[in-house]
């Protein structure tokens, strides 16, 4: 178990037959409770409405969006995994999200302990390894308590969520040599919870920051939403094919925000030779996704935020396959469909109802970020001005 992935070891760090078994099982369970179904869109829209209501209550006052977005996105994955949502003022849920955020932000420096484990004995915890482990223990306990509650209320004739599906499978395999254990269940839930919340939240934070720095892009997105949807209803996933500029903008946010520039570490399954180097079996490999997203041969002037680079002469979306924030192949992120649905429904609804402006027009927050497990924008405040 590596320290920097202490709260993400359910499926992402598995390999071989065990990885395939649990990934396939989790995907099946996720589909049963929303993935690829109309019911999932309803869950997202419910959180969109609550999120926009909270923005409206700020009455145009400067606001840091981080916690509002985190809770809204967290509630979507909670509805699928736990069969419940949490109120935005729930102190326990807020504390849990704060611990997750802290561990993700500390992962960069604490990750040095994976390379130099002896550093953990330096007095004072200068690399925050002890803090990461302490936070992870609290997170695991919280998830474990929720699972215990599910066990107490479990009814095989009324499977309500993904945790119930796992409990059913664990009961089915009782007495067998199986990887469907309490430990695996807690870690799988932690994996899905953190991954399903953090990446989308970070992308939406980048989106608003790019809108503030590129008001012309925000204006064009608003115009497209109004042309297709108007103001009488919320946007729907069925509108997506009619909104090429929105799709291009989301793609450019994913490229320029580059929220997972180094992806998740992989390992060689057998010895191989690459560019004259022999890589033994089990060698850790880190994928440099940033080198793709910032390649000037693929994206001229890569530092410029420009959604039109993904619009062809006929006004259609093209070239999006070159942007790989969810990776590709067998290890592609299994939450990609959920994340893309969330991004579309949140962003279109946000620009439909609000215009996002800097707190101080003479001091626009810069497009800068901090690297933890994800690349997250530096904290900023904005004004969400309701459209009349």
| Residues flagged as binding site for heme | 333
For residues 294-306, b (16+ Cβ closer than 10 Å) or e, as one string? beeeebeebeebb
User: How many Å is the maximal CA-CA distance in the chain?
Assistant: 67
Binding site, by residue number, is 333
d(CA 44, CA 46): 5
End-to-end alpha carbon distance in the chain = 53
For residues 107-131, b (16+ Cβ closer than 10 Å) or e, as one string? beebbbbeeeeeebeeeeeebbbee
- Helix spans in the chain (H): 16-32, 38-57, 66-81, 91-110, 112-115, 129-153, 162-172, 182-213, 215-228, 244-257, 289-293, 336-353
Decide if 36 contacts 11 (C-beta within 8 A): no
d(CA 176, CA 29): 21
Place of tokens 């939403």: 225
* Residues paired with residue 358 on neighbouring β-strands, in sequence order: 382
d(CA 137, CA 287): 29
């Amino acid at each position: 178990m590596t320290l920097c992935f202490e709260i993400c070891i359910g499926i992402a760090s598995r390999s071989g037959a065990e990885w395939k078994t649990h990934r396939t099982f989790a995907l099946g369970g996720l589909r049963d409770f929303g993935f690829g179904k109309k019911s999932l869109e309803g869950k997202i829209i419910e959180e969109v409405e609550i999120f926009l209501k909270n923005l409206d209550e700020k009455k145009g006052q400067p606001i840091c969006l981080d916690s509002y977005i985190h809770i809204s996105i967290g509630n979507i994955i909670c509805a699928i995994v736990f069969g419940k949502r949490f109120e935005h003022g729930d102190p326990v849920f807020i504390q849990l999200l704060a611990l997750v955020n802290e561990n993700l932000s500390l992962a960069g420096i604490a990750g040095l302990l994976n390379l130099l484990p002896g550093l953990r004995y330096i007095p004072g915890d200068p690399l925050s390894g002890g803090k990461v482990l302490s936070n992870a223990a609290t997170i695991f306990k919280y998830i474990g308590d929720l699972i215990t509650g599910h066990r107490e209320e479990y009814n095989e004739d009324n499977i309500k969520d993904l945790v119930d599906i796992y409990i059913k499978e664990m009961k089915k395999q009782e007495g067998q040599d199986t990887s469907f254990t309490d430990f695996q269940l807690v870690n799988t839930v932690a994996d899905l919870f953190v991954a399903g919340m953090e990446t989308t939240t970070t992308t939406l934070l980048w989106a608003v920051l790019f809108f503030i720095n590129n008001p012309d892009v925000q204006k064009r997105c608003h115009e497209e939403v109004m042309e297709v949807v108007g103001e009488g209803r919320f946007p729907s996933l069925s509108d997506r094919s009619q909104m090429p500029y929105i799709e291009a903008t989301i793609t450019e946010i994913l490229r320029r925000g580059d929220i997972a520039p180094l992806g998740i570490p992989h390992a060689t399954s057998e010895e191989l030779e690459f560019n004259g180097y022999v890589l033994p079996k089990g060698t850790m490999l880190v994928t440099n996704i940033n080198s793709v997203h910032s390649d000037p041969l693929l994206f001229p002037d890569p530092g410029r935020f420009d959604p039109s680079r993904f619009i062809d002469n006929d006004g259609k979306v093209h070239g999006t396959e070159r942007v790989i924030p969810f990776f590709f192949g067998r290890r592609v992120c299994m939450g990609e469909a959920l994340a893309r649905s969330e991004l579309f429904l949140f962003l279109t609804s946000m620009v439909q109802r609000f215009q996002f402006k800097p707190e101080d027009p003479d001091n626009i927050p810069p497009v800068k970020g901090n690297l933890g497990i994800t690349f997250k924008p530096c904290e900023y405040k904005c004004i969400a001005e309701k459209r009349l």
